[in-house]
Amino acid sequence: MGRAIAERFAAEGAALTLVDVSARRLDAAKAFVRSQLAPGAGFFARRCDVTDSAAVAALVKAAQTALGPLHVLINVVGGIRGTINAPLDEIDEERWDDTFRLNLKGTYLLTRALAPGMRDAGWGRIVNIASVDMAGAPGRSDYGAAKAAVVSLTRSLAAEYAPTIAVNCIAPGIIRTSAVERLPPETVEGFRQRTLLGRLGEPAEIANAALFLASDEASYITGETLVVSGGIPAHL
């Protein structure tokens, strides 16, 4: 999803900072996204663990040196490490803490680092990525709770940063990513059957939503969660 978002923004002429904890993924994204940039558009890419505060501070300093002020932040970090479905009594304390760290810490650190510059500039957009599992997901109680926290954080930040910075959230359903492609076929089919549209979502469909929320076309929207799920409901 992050790569699709970068490609979509590049197509609109944006200067981009790309960040990934995986050097392999980052190198693959750099090679393609750089070829899509508009003439003269700035580009910076760096491998970084965005759950590490010192690494985030160094990342932001380097990106601002390369590109100048950063006005849009898309937080696309999240997921589950380990078995996708596990009842609560099989989720140990280490997994619980890791899931919350993975889905919240990077969003917290990057927002804290970049929001002051957006306020100084008088304009900014922050888009967080949650999940339809925020509404509750048996077998994924840690992930669902962490994504619900992302939605709550979005609302809190929208109130804190108003009226200068709009902060919104996207709640994807089941999207055709590399992680999904590694799931057992019966699991993927179960997800597909939950949708009203009868198919998985594509990363580009999340990218389109992110572009809208980051644009002036969404200038009167803040504190909201846009569900992009093919009809799977997601309400707390």
Locate 26 and state its tokens.
């980052």
Do residues 69 and 124 lie in contact, with contact meaning Cβ atoms separated by under 8 Å? no
From 96, 66, 93, select the one nearest 81 (Cα to Cα). Answer: 96
Using the 8-state DSSP alphabet, how is residue 102 labeled?
A: I
Question: Which residues, in sequence order, are bridge partners of residue 172?
Answer: 228
Is residue 161 part of the annotated active site? The answer reads: no
Q: Which of 108, 143, 161, 220 is catalytic?
A: 143
What residue type is assigned to position 214 of the chain?
Answer: A
CB-based contacts of 222, cutoff 8 Å, min separation 6: 158, 162, 166, 167, 168
What does the alpha-carbon distance between residue 48 and residue 26 come to, in Å, rounded to a whole number?
Answer: 10
* Residue found by looking up tokens 């569900």 in the block: 227
Where in the sequence numbering do the catalytic residues fall? 143
